[in-house]
Amino acid sequence: MSSKFLLYKLLDENLMKEAGIYLSLPRLSYADVLNDEKTIELDDSYSYKINEYDSIWSPTENELQLTQSISIKHPSKLFGLEGVTAQENTLAIAVKIHSRTSNFTENLILKKFGMKDSNIEIDFEEVFEPNSLRGTIFFEYYLIVHELHNTSLFQADEIGMQLSSEPLLAYSVSVDGDGSEFPIEEFHDPESGLWRIWMDWVDVYSDSFDSSNIRILINSAHPLYDRLYTNTNKMNQYTLNNIIVSSIILVIQKA
């Protein structure tokens, strides 16, 4: 922490309680192949690997919608000599979204408010399109100075200053699983079933999990082949999941 943070008053736990600042757990959801909304149930770990909570969601096939609720019951407590800024100023709740692996940083003002405002409710939504996310995305929520009309001793004196030593809430969302995806290829044989698994490893403990050693083969000549795909030409995740589970059982039996 830099010395500058020690020169002005910061939001602490007591002031947060007095102001009634509350941030819910995030809510993640997406539309499945039938365009029905699916909610990914989260806990309070604040580090979310999505496929540990929902094995069907795919970063390449599905969008991801994040919803965050924030409320401030008594915002006037944040102003004046006992607060973090002068009565004439304006504060804001802001979020920083950043990801090195997805190569973006975004800073958003979610809500600005003054001393005369009351019972603030914020419902922040961010939608990430399919195939737009990689790795881990970080979300950090802050209380900041938005407009500065007057300054008081030992209070923040620059627009944009963060008014807490740590984020009000911080969490990460990892969109890539830890394991390898099953290699999937197609073949054409009118006499065969819808799918089969090809296994050709020497040492199950050391050989790589890739198409040179194992792969699921989907039969494009099978009458049910078209049912594997939606009207947008995306593979039906439910059916694919069943095939993968069956394949895993066969792999375990052989290993």
Going from N- to C-terminal start, the domains of the chain cover: 3-174, 184-254
Mean pLDDT of 6-24: 92
Looking at residue 212, its pLDDT comes to 65
Instruction: State how far the Cα of 249 lies from the Cα of 212, in Å rounded to an integer.
Output: 19
User: What percent of the chain shows pLDDT beyond 70?
Assistant: 85
pTM summary value: 0.68
Task: Determine the distance from the C-alpha atom of residue 214 to the mean position of all C-alpha atoms in its chain, rounded to a whole number.
Answer: 31
The tens digit of pLDDT for each residue in 136-191 reads 899 999 999 999 999 888 899 999 999 998 999 999 998 864 444 566 777 889 99
pLDDT value, residue 233: 42
Q: Name the average pLDDT for the chain.
A: 84
Cβ-in-10-Å burial (0-12, 13-18, 19+) of 35 comes to exposed
Q: What is the pLDDT of residues 21-65, one digit of tens each?
A: 999 999 999 987 778 899 988 888 898 988 878 877 888 788 999
Q: Are 154 and 120 in contact, with CB atoms under 8 Å apart?
A: no
